[in-house]
Amino acid sequence: MSAGNVPFLAIEGVHKFFGADHILRGIDLQVDKGEVICILGRSGSGKSTLLRTINALEPVSAGRIALNGELIGYHEKGDRLYPLGAVALARQRTKIGMVFQGFNLFPHMTVLENITMAPKMVLSVPAREAEEQARHFLEKVGMSDKASVYPTSLSGGQQQRVAIARSLAMKPELILFDEPTSALDPELVGEVLSVMQQLAADGMTMLVVTHELRFARDVSDVTVLMHNGRIEEMGPTKDVMSAPKTKAAQGFFASLN
């Protein structure tokens, strides 16, 4: 737990509707600082939507999400929640990095420019300092020799490692990974997972939506299995994977063998 017994990340009673579609159906989850949580489940179970609500890319329909006790996406007045303005929301998002399935790098910018843009524009980091930090994080992901090249000359795995460095450059307290290897050729998956494994070893708090069961088994502290918009099963990874308790969880893992 964080100081004062406030959870580092607290998700309480979160629902999400898209029109009549009830995508998230009362999600409750607490994450301690430094934990790695892998979120598993079939397509359409709500995994990616959950991640997008955590950094307010999608507003919640009900419930609340707080990071270190601070509501994400809203401020509270009386017993009502009101959406944050754009400036306050941008400030909150600097604390929560996100790495998507696609790399979302600007093709007209070099690798270094892609990484330094947000720190300079959002955090007002001086250009020289932003460049020094960018080179540090490129080295961390094994891409220090690619600072001056353009993304189109990189493999998918290399682009995803740059995307991770870009997220790290904002010095987030939490990083969300949404199927970060799903768009990669199989031979490139390992290089990205290796970077993520090192981040976990360094103590980064991570929520990872993934189908990479070996990564989940080796790296995550807790595994969450989602089914039909709910958390079907949750617990220490070794317990959930070796002896799932619910029929939905048993069926999910059996389908992967």
Using the structure block, give the residue that is written with the tokens 């179970």: 45
pLDDT at 202 over 70: yes
The per-residue pLDDT for range 56-84, each reduced to its tens digit, is 999 999 999 999 999 999 998 888 889 99
Report the pLDDT averaged over residues 135-150. Answer: 96
DSSP bridge pairs for 24:
16
Domain 33-55+85-256 belongs to what architecture? 3-Layer(aba) Sandwich (3.40)
Whether 134 has a pLDDT exceeding 90, the answer reads: yes
Q: How far apart are CA 169 and CA 119, in angstroms?
A: 7
pLDDT digit string (tens) for 212-252?
999 999 999 999 999 999 999 999 999 999 999 999 999 99
The answer to whether 218 and 210 are in contact (CB under 8 A) is: no
pTM value? 0.93
Question: How many C-alpha atoms does 43 have within 13 Å on its Cβ side?
Answer: 1
Q: Which tokens is 40 given?
A: 């598993």
The string of pLDDT tens digits covering residues 9-25 is 999 999 999 999 999 99
Structure tokens belonging to residue 201: 């070893």
- Computed on alpha carbons and rounded to an integer, the radius of gyration of the chain in Å comes to 18
Which one, of 157, 120, 119, lies nearest residue 141 by Cα?
157
Write down the residue that tokens 């029929």 correspond to: 247
In the prediction, which pLDDT does 247 show? 93
Using DSSP bridges, classify how beta strands 174-178 and 96-99 pair: parallel, antiparallel or unpaired.
parallel
Residue spans per domain, the chain: 33-55+85-256
Spatial separation of the C-alpha atoms in residues 41 and 178, rounded to whole Å:
13
